[in-house]
Amino acid sequence: MWALALALGALSVAGPPPNAGVDYQIGGPYPLPAGVSVVTRDWFDGRPAPRPAYSICYVNAFQTQADEAGADRPDERSNWPRTLVLRGLGDDPNWAGEYLIDLRTAAKRRRAARWVAPMLRACRRKGYRAVEFDNLDSWRRFDGMPRARRVPFGKRQALAYAADLSRRAHALGLAVGQKNTPELTRAQVRRAGFDFAVAEECARYRECARYRALYGNRVIDIEYRARDFRRACAAMGGTVSVLLRDRSLRPRGARGYRFGAC
């Protein structure tokens, strides 16, 4: 039955249109700016995906969300199964309150994917067309720090987990976006089941060519500095989707909000 659902779901999977107007709203939803036809929002947002836009569902599948007062999210650190959260490592040096999910064994990966599965079903129920799984490169989160030696898994285990998540998403008819991590091969992309890429600051870090080599024009680039945004627009703005946002991804109307398109 699962194999049949997978086969049927995969038939209806379609990635976002290339070189479209895009917005990235995981910091809070708001009405789509003029010209935007593709939008990403957090899976926990209570409203349906906006129509007729192509909507991408954000799921932080490789790390926990930080515990949030007044919220009760299954992806928060305190709600994930305790044996799957690497609390002994401490939280992400750049994202306070986010902890790595333990992917060292096949059993742990299966259990983690089962925990994420209801989030995928929520994405589908709300009308999303695709999902992006954040923090694929969580095994590198502590690079350059003494704690790096204590991370009990690496790229191979992370990609195996990604493949499980992608199978589940495809079975629901959701396309899957690779989030960051440019150093993959075509074979790894194929095995992981990625259909398109969401790249943060690929112009700033000179990584856009790597994503385009893997995905062609099926790339969404989000830049957070105006000079990098201008460079990305000049280099590929007529081919792929390029977006300027403030780094905190504030909703429109909030102080510090910034949005720009090529």
Whether 57 is in a domain gets the answer yes
On the question of a cis peptide bond just before residue 52, with omega within 30 degrees of 0, the verdict is: yes
Reported as a single tens digit per residue, the pLDDT across 212-236 is 999 999 999 999 999 999 999 999 9
Residue 245 resides in a domain: no
3-class secondary structure, 115? helix
Does residue 201 belong to any structural domain of this protein? yes
CA distance 195 to 88: 34
Determine the Cα–Cα distance for residues 221 and 208; give it in Å rounded to an integer: 8
254 within a domain of the structure (yes/no): no
Residue 145 lies in a domain: yes
Q: Is residue 204, in this structure, part of any structural domain at all?
A: yes
Predicted local confidence at residue 186, as pLDDT: 98
Residue from 188, 49, 65 nearest 128 by CA:
49
- Residue 114 and residue 152: Cα distance in Å, rounded? 20
What CATH number is given to the structural domain containing 202?
A: 3.20.20.70
Is residue 261 in a domain? Answer: no
Contacts of 137 (CB under 8 A, 6+ apart): 158, 180, 181
The domain in which residue 92 lies consists of 2-22+39-222
Closest listed residue to residue 169, CA positions, set 204, 121, 214, 202: 121
* Tens-place pLDDT, residues 43-83: 999 999 999 999 999 999 999 999 988 889 999 999 999 99
Look at residue 243 and tell me if it is in a domain: no
SS3 at position 107: helix
pLDDT in tens, 156-189: 999 999 999 999 999 999 999 999 999 999 999 9
Count CB-CB contacts under 10 A for residue 106.
Answer: 12
pLDDT greater than 80 at residue 3: no
**218 HSE (CA, 13 A, CB side):** 17
Whether this model's pTM surpasses 0.85 = yes
- Total tally of structural domains belonging to the chain: 1
Helix ranges (DSSP H) in the chain:
2-11, 106-125, 155-171, 186-192, 208-215, 226-236
Place of tokens 């589908």: 124
Cβ neighbourhood burial of 214 (10 Å; 0-12, 13-18, 19+): buried
